[in-house]
Amino acid sequence: MATSNNFDLSRCSLNTATIKHATLEEAAMAAAAAGYGAVGLWRDRVQEVGAEKAGRIVRAAGLEVSSLCRGGFFTALDAGRARVAVDDNRRAVDEAAAVGAGELILVVGGLPANPEPGMGASPDAGRPERDLGAARERVSLRLAELVPYAREGGVRLVLEPMHPLFCADRGVVSTLGQALDIAAPFAATEVGVVVDTYHVWWDPQLAASIARAGAEGRLAAFQVCDWVLPLKQDTLNSRGYVGDGYIDFATITGWVRDAGYTGAVETEIFNTDIWARPFTEVVEHVAADYAKYVLPYLD
Amino acid sequence: MATSNNFDLSRCSLNTATIKHATLEEAAMAAAAAGYGAVGLWRDRVQEVGAEKAGRIVRAAGLEVSSLCRGGFFTALDAGRARVAVDDNRRAVDEAAAVGAGELILVVGGLPANPEPGMGASPDAGRPERDLGAARERVSLRLAELVPYAREGGVRLVLEPMHPLFCADRGVVSTLGQALDIAAPFAATEVGVVVDTYHVWWDPQLAASIARAGAEGRLAAFQVCDWVLPLKQDTLNSRGYVGDGYIDFATITGWVRDAGYTGAVETEIFNTDIWARPFTEVVEHVAADYAKYVLPYLD
């Protein structure tokens, strides 16, 4: 498939979060019309129509599903919240299988709040838990609980290292090397890793870790968006179009290529300004950036 | 020395940036009155009175100088700006020697802007340079140029790894391990590293890197402040009092202690709200936090 500009967009994937306000059908139509080869899906849009129907919509548009976002949030301290997380992750695995996504991306969760003040509460009640090492161990434990269920469903779990900016509140897995260490006890077909440029671009060990991910057969997904400054007050939704910021896509794409990755390249941008633009405009912009900053370095 | 609360504050140091609007004399008086053993100085306050007089003010207050902040900004692309940086760093070394600081802390600089558009300008003119690897190499090269001058002045250069949040615009050295790698070609008496909790708390390799810094004799300074959320729009000035956020000071202080560090613990908080408070209040608050969250884990 190709746009009128004749770029090869067969490996170009649109993560639906980039046009957050589109329905799944609108997103699939827009991606297909622009010549994309795949879409990456968020669970909210999948759940709106049901996972099986969501899969049919994507296939009818002639697209692959590159991934499903997201499960995880493994770091709860109390048994009740941990149980809720396990149940939700099992549903996410089911949805991934039903929608035809071979992979479920996991955002592992940040430092949880301590239980609220009450009878016998600790002096830290209601304040953030600070034991980062323990939170990271809970990620490993709860991942181990989920792996057999995902294996049965034919879904690979994919750990997403997150920028250290988000260590406190969203993801205590902060580097690709750490994600690979957490994945190590499991088969490569069971637990993989995703390289999201926004999260890992700064890492002095990135080249080595990408090569390691490839050599271990765990390089499951490649997501792109740019680091732009100033950050917005809402740091989570402060990402930029590929090419608008500081990230060296030529170099990182080359590392991913050299690691043997042949899958889709998903553009995933959280940005309130971009969400406010017409879907078609965003989809064309993303494709043009892909063609300029990523595609030349993929082969 | 001790406050009326009888905490041992002999290793407690006030970085003057924590009470940014105080003159050097006001800062020294406030720290001495509260029983601190040392102050860490910023160059602006030192330059206001001259480095030799600044040293006399601090000594007259019965305080040590734990460090001088800061030199660095080594990443300029063009020869003109690089020259300006070298000259400024030599002045910083002179000031450190004159003020009686054995150590000059270096913030290495971010990704520079490309030269502005003009005759023969590249397509990237005026946009950020994206070659992070090359910027990091320039840090090593310009550090090597500065080391002989600092050695002659009897000043140790101290690399500060910065939170990856600041990789693009302030510091391309992002982990303690990377700082140690950059320091490796030099003697431990020539180039050390600083552990600033705000910058490194999230690092999954932090325990190992602190131990390595100790074993190599490069652990030159320990600075503390907390990671609090939400970040302010002005991310640089968004730090919190020790104990108000997510950082596990007991654990990190223990690692620093076990690495053999016996120097001062500098509280350095950049926060516009704290800057707006009376100096005495801030200095007492910092001392109380030090006594609660750091001191018990130092010995």
Intra-chain end-to-end CA distance of chain B, in Å: 17
Q: Which of the four pLDDT bands, split at 50, 70 and 90, describes residue B199?
A: very high
Report the gap between the CA of A289 and the closest CA in chain B (Å).
15
pLDDT at res. B210: 98
Check if A123 contacts B (Cβ < 8 Å). Answer: no
Q: Tell how strand A239-240 and strand A226-227 pair up.
A: antiparallel
pLDDT at res. B297: 98
Give yes or no for residue B258 having a pLDDT over 60.
Answer: yes
Give yes or no for residue B105 having a pLDDT over 60.
Answer: yes
Of B128, B125, B123, B124, nearest in space to B113 by CA: B128
Residue B97's contacts (CB-CB under 8 Å, 6 or more residues apart) are B153, B154, B155
On the 0-12 / 13-18 / 19+ scale of CB atoms within 10 A, A21 is: exposed
For chain A, residues with pLDDT lower than 50 are: 1-4
Q: Which residues of A touch B235 (CB under 8 A)?
A: 230-231
Domain A12-46+53-76+84-100+131-264+274-297 listed as CATH 1.10.10.60? no
Check if B237 contacts A (Cβ < 8 Å). Answer: no
CB contact under 8 A, B163 and A167: no
CB proximity under 8 Å: A 248-277 to B = 248, 251
Which one of A124, A159, A165, A252 makes the best mutation probe of the B interface by having the most chain B beta carbons within 10 Å?
A165
Q: Which of the four pLDDT bands, split at 50, 70 and 90, describes residue B4?
A: very low
- Out of 3.20.20.150, 3.20.20.80, 2.20.25.90, 3.30.365.10, the CATH code matching B12-113+128-219+239-297 is 3.20.20.150
Bridge partners, A42 (sequence order): A69
Nearest CA in chain B to A200: B164
pLDDT at res. B122: 65
Report the gap between the CA of B299 and the closest CA in chain A (Å).
21
CB contact under 8 A, A175 and B248: no
Q: Which residues of B touch A133 (CB under 8 A)?
A: 251
pLDDT in tens, B269-283: 999 999 999 999 999
Q: Which residues of B touch A235 (CB under 8 A)?
A: 230-231
Check if A184 contacts B (Cβ < 8 Å). Answer: no
Which one of B129, B130, B233 makes the best mutation probe of the A interface by having the most chain A beta carbons within 10 Å?
B130
Nearest CA in chain A to B164: A202
Is residue B34 a contact partner of residue B6, using CB atoms and an 8 Å limit? no
pLDDT at res. B6: 77
Q: Which residues of A touch B171 (CB under 8 A)?
A: none
pLDDT in tens, A242-275: 999 999 999 999 999 999 999 999 999 999 999 9
Bridge partners, A113 (sequence order): A128
Give yes or no for residue B3 having a pLDDT over 60.
Answer: no
Q: What is the 3-state secondary structure (H, E, C) of chain B?
A: CECCCCCECCCEEEEHHHHCCCCHHHHHHHHHHCCCCEEEEEHHHHHHHCHHHHHHHHHHCCCEEEEEEEEECCCCCCHHHHHHHHHHHHHHHHHHHHHCCCEEEEECECCCECCCCCCCCCCCCCCECCCHHHHHHHHHHHHHHHHHHHHHHCCEEEECCCCHHHCCCCECCCCHHHHHHHHCCCCCCCEEEEEEHHHHCCCCCHHHHHHHHHHCCCEEEEEECEECCCCCCCHHHEEECCCCCCCCHHHHHHHHHHCCCCCCEEECCCEHHHHCCCHHHHHHHHHHHHHHHHHHHCC
Check if A174 contacts B (Cβ < 8 Å). Answer: yes
pLDDT at res. B280: 96
What is the rounded distance in angstroms from the CA atom of residue B242 to the CA atom of residue B252? 12
DSSP symbols for A197-224 = HHHHTT-TTHHHHHHHHHHTT-EEEEEE
CB contact under 8 A, A204 and B174: yes
pLDDT at res. B113: 80
pLDDT at res. B117: 61
What is the rounded distance in angstroms from the CA atom of residue B274 to the CA atom of residue B232? 13
Q: Which of the four pLDDT bands, split at 50, 70 and 90, describes residue B120?
A: low
Q: Which of the four pLDDT bands, split at 50, 70 and 90, describes residue B114?
A: confident
What is the rounded distance in angstroms from the CA atom of residue B193 to the CA atom of residue A159? 32
Check if A235 contacts B (Cβ < 8 Å). Answer: yes
Q: Which long-range contacts (CB under 8 A, 24 or more apart) does B133-138 make?
A: B133/A251, B135/B75, B135/B109, B135/B110, B135/B111, B135/B172, B136/A204, B136/B172, B136/B173, B136/B178, B136/B182, B138/B74, B138/B75, B138/B76, B138/B82
**Cα–Cα–Cα angle for B259, B263, B269, nearest 5°?**
100
pLDDT at res. A275: 96
Taken in order A149, A154, A159, A160, the sign of the CA dihedral is negative
* ipTM value for the complex: 0.94
- The Cβ of residue B148 has, within 10 Å, a number of other Cβ atoms equal to 10
The CA–CA distances, whole Å, from A216 to A107, A164, A173, A186, B1 equal 21, 24, 19, 11, 56
Rounded to the nearest 10 degrees, how much is the dihedral formed by the CA atoms of A43, A44, A48, A54?
-30
Report the gap between the CA of B183 and the closest CA in chain A (Å).
15
CB contact under 8 A, A178 and B246: no
Check if B111 contacts A (Cβ < 8 Å). Answer: yes
Give yes or no for residue B5 having a pLDDT over 70.
Answer: no
Nearest CA in chain B to A175: B204
Q: Is A286 helix (H, G, I), strand (E, B) or coil?
A: helix
Stated as kind and residue range, the H or E segment containing A38 is strand A38-42
pLDDT in tens, B208-250: 999 999 999 999 999 999 999 999 989 999 999 999 999 999 9
pLDDT at res. B2: 44
pLDDT in tens, A157-177: 999 999 999 999 999 999 999
Stated as kind and residue range, the H or E segment containing A72 is strand A64-72
Check if B136 contacts A (Cβ < 8 Å). Answer: yes
Q: Is A271 helix (H, G, I), strand (E, B) or coil?
A: strand
Q: Which of the four pLDDT bands, split at 50, 70 and 90, describes residue B78?
A: confident
Lookup: tokens for B84? 């300006």
pLDDT in tens, B157-167: 999 999 999 99
Q: Which long-range contacts (CB under 8 A, 24 or more apart) does A213-217 make?
A: A213/A176, A213/A180, A213/A259, A214/A256, A214/A258, A214/A259, A214/A260, A214/A261, A215/A259, A216/A180, A216/A183, A216/A188, A217/A188, A217/A189
Stated as kind and residue range, the H or E segment containing A158 is strand A156-159
Report the gap between the CA of B171 and the closest CA in chain A (Å).
10
CB contact under 8 A, B201 and A235: no
Q: Which residues of B touch A131 (CB under 8 A)?
A: 248, 251
Is residue B78 a contact partner of residue B43, using CB atoms and an 8 Å limit? no
Q: Which residues of B touch A230 (CB under 8 A)?
A: 233, 235
